[in-house]
Amino acid sequence: MNAGAPDARIDADRLWGDLMALAEITDPQRPYTRRSFSPTFLRGRAWLADRYRDAGLTVRVDAAGNLIGRRAGSAADAPAIVVGSHSDSVPGGGRFDGIAGVVAGLEVARALADGGIALAHPLEVVDFLAEEPSEFGVSCIGSRAVAGLLDAGHLAMTAPGGETLAQAIERTGGDPARIGAARRADIGAFLELHIEQGPVLEARGIDLGIVTAIVGITRVEIRFAGEAAHAGTVPMNARRDAAVAAAEAVLAVRDLARGFADRGEGHFVATCGVCEILPNASNVVPGQARLVVDARSERAEAMSAFVARLEAALQAIARGNDVALAAFRIVSGNDPAACDAALQRVLQESAERAGYSSLRMASGAGHDAAYVAHVAPAAMLFVPSRGGRSHCPEEWTGQAELAAGAQVMLEAVRRIDGAPEPVSRAAPRSVTRNSLRSGREAGNP
Ligand SMILES: [Zn+2]
């Protein structure tokens, strides 16, 4: 930014008012719920499109159903600086996940207009379609398409009512027959403000998180096959109890993941969130057990090593319990996405200039930025989440904390616009060996 450049300030009250107004567009039976493609979601989008227009932005919906507000730049053919996130929610979610980044982007555009500041680059505020797992069994639909990774297989997926994803995208104003047109090659920089959804910033008393990488997520299905038997008559040393093997497997997952996290492998977590035993009866020795492991790492090599060591550990557990490891199947997997190093620096300098502390940290949740990173330099800014709570009605970020994040976004946009090499197009931006195309997945955020 040039010395003497006009000042521009986020209006914290206006930003907060927008956030709360959009949050209140919720399924009244279950606050806060704005599921993608639902009538409530479409009402929220209509509201948002009006706010875009009020801010002087040109509104369009791209082929993938992303809602975009655009402010023209003064330089011909300059790539766009894009800010945004998503306006859909999980069922019974919070008021901040997703929309914080959308309304912050909108406020950045308004603050620039209020300050009479023209940018050389176009500025776009994007509400990506259906970031959360949708009824179609796929997440990050809009940003996936921006990366050119939403294919005919995805479009043919159906919701329980029978509607295809293509039909649903059409309902939002998209044009699925031209889905390839949603792929972007003209984004110079992408910035996503998001709530942290975890406890780190608050616990350490730090204002903002600058994301280094968005974790890759691997899900593994595990099945043990033993032998169902009478719980009263079969002696302890003659059992083939699949539940005991499953219990040992849960501990093995925890211990292995702790090992990776403690060894300086960066952010590494793993969870056994699904555990089923059959026949699940009090007087029967369990003959079958099924687990699903969700493992997340910011380093692809760490994930590969974890999966290999987990399989070896499970083989040993199976042998020790006289059961079979009947399945060890990778259900879904994607690679971590590195945030652009130059944009991370811009965010850090912007935070310093605005007087806020910041911390470099990985994102343990999936985000639209991970997909945009396939086609453009992308980075993320986290604002604190009270108590680390998210995906629940208690989700909370204070007004001043949100405004701080938006102010830093504003600073960053101006720095990117004013830098002599305005966009780091040549920077290496992704560590992907991409397996994101893999079909129906539970959804990662
Ligand atoms: Zn989100």
202 and 82 belong to one structural domain = yes
- Quote the ligand 1 centre to 86 CA distance (angstroms): 6
- Quote the ligand 1 centre to 87 CA distance (angstroms): 8
- Quote the ligand 1 centre to 89 CA distance (angstroms): 8
Looking at the predicted structure, is the pLDDT value of residue 439 above 60?
no
- Quote the ligand 1 centre to 85 CA distance (angstroms): 7
- Quote the ligand 1 centre to 127 CA distance (angstroms): 11
CATH of the domain at 292: 3.30.70.360
54 and 198 belong to one structural domain = yes
pLDDT value of position 126: 98
- Quote the ligand 1 centre to 170 CA distance (angstroms): 23
22 and 147 belong to one structural domain = yes
- Quote the ligand 1 centre to 283 CA distance (angstroms): 44
- Quote the ligand 1 centre to 270 CA distance (angstroms): 20
27 and 90 belong to one structural domain = yes
Looking at the predicted structure, is the pLDDT value of residue 304 above 50?
yes
Token readout for 54 is 């009020």
- Quote the ligand 1 centre to 132 CA distance (angstroms): 7
- Quote the ligand 1 centre to 196 CA distance (angstroms): 9
* Helices 12-23 + 99-114 axis angle, to 10: 140
Tens-place pLDDT, residues 242-261: 999 999 999 999 999 999 99
Torsion of CA 199, 204, 206, 212, to 10 degrees: -60
* Lookup result for tokens 């009824």: 135
Whether 445 is covered by a domain: the verdict is: no
- Quote the ligand 1 centre to 78 CA distance (angstroms): 29
Torsion of CA 167, 171, 173, 175, to 10 degrees: 10
User: Mean pLDDT for the chain?
Assistant: 93
- Quote the ligand 1 centre to 318 CA distance (angstroms): 38
314 and 359 belong to one structural domain = no
Tens-place pLDDT, residues 202-215: 999 999 999 999 99
116 and 236 belong to one structural domain = no
Average pLDDT of the segment spanning 65-69: 98
180 and 222 belong to one structural domain = no
Whether 124 is covered by a domain: the verdict is: yes
| Banded pLDDT at 420 (limits 50, 70, 90) | low
Tens-place pLDDT, residues 122-172: 999 999 999 999 999 899 999 999 999 999 999 999 999 999 999 999 999
- Quote the ligand 1 centre to 120 CA distance (angstroms): 29
pLDDT value of position 7: 82
Looking at the predicted structure, is the pLDDT value of residue 433 above 60?
no
Whether 18 is covered by a domain: the verdict is: yes
Average pLDDT of the segment spanning 322-350: 96
Whether 429 is covered by a domain: the verdict is: no
Looking at the predicted structure, is the pLDDT value of residue 434 above 50?
no
Domain boundary residue among 333, 360, 386?
A: 333
pLDDT value of position 270: 98
Query: 222, 292 in Cβ contact below 8 A?
Result: yes
pLDDT value of position 76: 86
236 and 379 belong to one structural domain = no
pLDDT value of position 427: 40
Burial of 203 from C-beta contacts in 10 A (0-12 / 13-18 / 19+):
exposed
How much of the chain, in percent, has pLDDT values that exceed 70? 93
The residues with which 123 forms a beta bridge, in sequence order, are 71, 81
Whether 30 is covered by a domain: the verdict is: yes
CB half-sphere exposure, 416, CA atoms < 13 A: 35
210 and 268 belong to one structural domain = no
Looking at the predicted structure, is the pLDDT value of residue 5 above 90?
no
- Quote the ligand 1 centre to 92 CA distance (angstroms): 14
CATH of the domain at 18: 3.40.630.10
177 and 67 belong to one structural domain = yes
- Quote the ligand 1 centre to 176 CA distance (angstroms): 24
Spatial separation of the C-alpha atoms in residues 195 and 390, rounded to whole Å: 9
Number of domains, the chain:
2
- Quote the ligand 1 centre to 411 CA distance (angstroms): 22
Of 10, 238, 223, 258, give the one whose Cα is nearest residue 110.
10
Looking at the predicted structure, is the pLDDT value of residue 276 above 60?
yes
Whether 414 is covered by a domain: the verdict is: yes
Domain boundary residue among 276, 307, 333?
A: 333
pLDDT value of position 421: 55
- Quote the ligand 1 centre to 232 CA distance (angstroms): 50
pLDDT value of position 445: 55
- Quote the ligand 1 centre to 368 CA distance (angstroms): 8
- Quote the ligand 1 centre to 98 CA distance (angstroms): 4
Full domain range(s) for residue 71? 12-214+336-418
- Quote the ligand 1 centre to 172 CA distance (angstroms): 19
Whether 443 is covered by a domain: the verdict is: no
Token readout for 100 is 């914080």
- Quote the ligand 1 centre to 126 CA distance (angstroms): 13
Looking at the predicted structure, is the pLDDT value of residue 82 above 60?
yes
Q: Which amino acid is at 147?
A: A
Of 284, 63, 288, give the one whose Cα is nearest residue 169.
63
Domain boundary residue among 280, 303, 333?
A: 333
Average pLDDT of the segment spanning 354-379: 97
152 and 37 belong to one structural domain = yes
Looking at the predicted structure, is the pLDDT value of residue 426 above 50?
no
177 and 222 belong to one structural domain = no
Whether 197 is covered by a domain: the verdict is: yes
- Quote the ligand 1 centre to 190 CA distance (angstroms): 16
Token readout for 183 is 């792929």
